[in-house]
Structure 1
């Protein structure tokens, strides 16, 4: 398991978070964003999440942010208010060390304590590592959307995984 400390995001974490995410934007299809995101933009996004009363967590190891996870409202309609979408990213150099699982475990516990009921996670397919993480966290595949994204010159599918808290 990870030796990282899981904690709430602090404003000074935004540059590291932006760097982690921008790697995935420019080198992978796991996110459908296509332009790197600035630290200021990541800070703005984090503030929007926490202003909605939802957690944004980071994993810190050896004094560096090595990953992050957060939840956003699933849909804006009031009947969805107990459902969220969870997101997790781990620095490329820190993958495979349990940081993603530790982040999700802490996030899910926080969401449960807040009275939330269901959590969903979207995965660009194929992505065996992300599928394994989501299923290790007790999530099951509930949807497969063919060719809903287009990045790096190809059509991409998205699957959704779900679990009750």
Structure 2
């Protein structure tokens, strides 16, 4: 089931996100975050945009997706960066697609016109997910990140609603 995230989900969201921080270059954060950090992020996002979770029949959180402001300048008000994270072991099972489809559906009914996804390279699974949903690659910044001792490129994919 896909539903709006709430404060009681913070602990599960932290576990998922921290696995990406500690084990991947998907996020450029280096230090694990706390449940309090996640609650603050959740509150900030949900003040203006959706934050969705996928849960199984027992209520366990399997992943999440949300939209945030792309840039602070007023002319960017109709663009959002979108992000999806899945619990390790639940990739390639359709949860990312379901989360993104639900998120896109909500955003289509809003003034938002442009969705942007930044994807650390290489990441064939994330690229495939975004392209399956109609995102098109619009650019790539070379060696803008440094994590685990290696330089990381970021590709950008965009979907116009």
Q: TM-score, normalised by structure 2?
A: 0.98
Aligned residues: 160
Q: CA deviation at 1:6?
A: 0.5
Cross-structure match for 1:72 = 68
Question: 50, 55, 64: which is aligned to 1:55?
Answer: 50
Residue 132 of structure 1: aligned partner:
128
Q: CA deviation at 1:12?
A: 0.5
What secondary structure does 1:49 align onto?
Answer: helix
Question: How many Å separate the matches in 1 of 2:92 and 2:158?
Answer: 22
Deviation, 1:37, is 1.1
Which of 12, 16, 34 pairs up with 1:16? 12
Give 1:38 deviation, angstroms.
1.1
Q: Which of these residues, 141, 146, 150, is aligned with residue 142 of structure 2?
A: 146
Match in the other structure for 1:36:
32
Deviations 1:34-69 (A, max 9, x none): 111111111100100111x10000001132000000
Match of 1:113 in 2: 109
Q: Secondary structure at the match of 1:92?
A: coil
Runs of 5+ consecutive residues of structure 2 not aligned to the other structure: none
- Paired position in structure 2 for 1:26: 22
Task: Give 1:114 shift.
Answer: 1.5
Q: Cα deviation per residue 1:11-51 (whole Å; 9 max; x = unaligned)?
A: 11000000000001000111100111111111100100111
Moved more, 37-46 or 146-155: 37-46
